[in-house]
Amino acid sequence: MAKHRDIDANNLASFLARVANAEKASHGRFLEKSPEELLLEGDVLGPLRAVSNEDAGVLFQVRDTYFCRYRAGETVNVAVIDPKTKKLKIATSSHIKFVGFPAPGLVEVFLPNTLKMFGAEAELFLLPANSAGIHWNLRKKLLAIDDSGLKASHKKISLKSIKQGMSKHTRGLNTVQKEAVSFLVENDLNGLVQGPPGTGKTHLIVSLIKILIDSGLKVGVASLTHSAVDNVLSKLIRSGVSVDEVARVAGDVNRIKFELYDESDSDRLLGGSFKALSAKGEFAGDTTFKVLGATLHSYALSDTKPDIDVLIIDEASQVPIYFQSFLDGICSRVIQFGDHKQLPPVVNIEKHNLPSVDIFSYEIEKQNYPMLETQYRMNKVVQSWSSNRFYQGKLHPHTSNNERDILAGFNQEGKFSSASIVHFHAHNGATINNASPYEASMVADLVEAIHNRGGLPLTEIGIVTPHRTHAGAVCAKLQDKFGVMVAQSILVDTVERFQGQEKETILLSLGADRDSTLKGDKGFIGDGRRLNVSVTRAKSRFYCLASNKLINQTRKQKNATHLKSFFDWCETKREDDKESA
């Protein structure tokens, strides 16, 4: 068995098998617990009841539900209750076309018409899709790789001509971004660039792609998720690259995030699987496409992908380490953009003998790399904890956002009013199943104050919470206060959904009164990378709401260094609003 980029493939294959088995076991709990338990945890949505049948699909409704973890375009498993065991039984899989909130406590889900097979009276439940099969397919593909088929062809390119054409597309870059481009070109278009929050990573990627395609090169854009791929491609097209020169590959076109593109561009975007596009001759000869976008799963599993000269991977720190074995076979020149101080891959394996769990961390330990240092999102106060904690104090705000505070007028008398940038609101409210109704009410009151007295649009307020159960409690209070239609304009979600987003004001509502994992820096709440992402979504103001019980537990834990540091920072910067309930 070959070694792929210095990692033994047997170890990778073994790791993939463990990941697949862990996914299978994790998914198995949905079939072991009662539906009532699963609904309380927030992973399962139901019971869904059909309210209308249309040619395109079936509209279902779920009552007494305020938060839905599923989004349009996602693939889900559909289950029914087994009359014998009274547990859930998976019946089929489907993809969601639409999710809406028409009334308080009511969720609507639109699913394809294949679900008419259940009948109008059936009660259905949605579960996360089981990805164990994909991991087994990746393992099979990995084991089939041998030395003769490992490496993609290495086309000779003129680095001199690339350098000569760089100035055209680097005028809008700052000094460190320009140095990053030069670094990559000098390294034969191989290497890493670390992009901390708000540092213009996507802007740099777009500029680099335009430099490369102007030099006659074909560029592959990849990431773990469809949304990350479409984020880059949509911005590339808006920057002036013709949509006719972009090919968007997806085995299921429903997974493409068409909403990120301008309507006129999404209609013309070339889409389909590698196999389907190859059969149409889209990749034959001198084709018009210059940029090819696909997830790494598509690149790794396809046998019909065309040659590309450079592969650019965005959000590489979220790409699991086992994809390392496929990179040489995809392209001989690979550029990774990521940040190992933000969210890692979702891999349910704690102990392993691999150097890291993601491709970015693995490569970053072996080579020098540029780190983008100027950020264009946060003011100097909001960015201070993350800069000092994770980036050696090197992160600094651009002059345009250094003193940013859109809520500077939010200083009138009244609850929550303050000129402070960072706020810390501690309380003694009770928590039930990682959700705090008391804290959720505080969140709703705070949002109302920021909106009414501070004049901030609700669309510029984001609420981050670790647990879906607490997200549901928050959404319920927001619907009570603003009505369901207005409440929908306020983004409430877990930290995983917030990466890549930004809002003028972020509220981190921890909800739980203890970190049940008790693993400190490796715990669910205390993970430094999750905290880093939570804080750095804010542009003007950051609020943290937490129970005194959680704060006191954290103070006593020796291994909760990140959460202690975070609480210390909040208390140092805060408006002192501790209360005794």
Distance between start and end Cα atoms, the chain: 63
Name the band, by pLDDT with cuts 50, 70 and 90, for residue 4: very low
Residue 149 has pLDDT above 70, yes or no: no
Question: How far apart, in whole angstroms, are the C-alpha atoms of residue 34 and residue 46?
Answer: 12
Among 116-125, 130-139, 236-245, 432-441, the range scoring the smallest mean pLDDT is 116-125
pLDDT digits (tens, 9 = 90+) for 46-105: 999 988 887 778 889 999 999 998 988 888 999 999 999 999 999 888 889 889 999 999
H-only helix segments in 427-579: 437-452, 468-482, 484-487, 495-498, 528-535, 548-556, 561-573
- d(C-alpha 209, C-alpha 260), whole Å: 19
pLDDT band at 580 (very low <50, low <70, confident <90, very high): very low
Residue 35, SS3 per DSSP: helix
Give the chain's mean pLDDT.
87
Q: From the CA atom positions of the chain, what is the Rg in Å? A: 24
pLDDT digits (tens, 9 = 90+) for 316-333: 999 999 998 899 889 999
Per the listing, tokens 């294949």 go with 114
Structure-block tokens of residue 290: 């210059």
The pLDDT assigned to 426 comes to: 92
Which of 91-105, 176-190, 251-265 holds the top average pLDDT? 176-190
Q: What is the DSSP letter of 244?
A: G
Q: Domains plus CATH for the chain?
A: 10-133 (2.40.30), 159-372 (3.40.50.300), 375-576 (3.40.50.300)
pLDDT of 459 higher than 80: yes
Phi and psi (nearest 5°) for 479? Answer: -65, -40
The H or E element spanning position 51 is strand 45-53
Q: What is the mean pLDDT of residues 201-207?
A: 97
Local confidence band at 457 (pLDDT 50, 70, 90 cut-offs): very high
Q: What tokens were used for 495?
A: 């930290």
Residue with tokens 């697949």: 20
Q: Is 513 exposed, middle or buried (0-12, 13-18, 19+ CB in 10 A)?
A: buried
Give the residue carrying structure tokens 């690979």. Answer: 334
Cα distance between residue 363 and residue 317, in whole Å: 10
For residue 574, what pLDDT band results from cuts at 50, 70 and 90? low
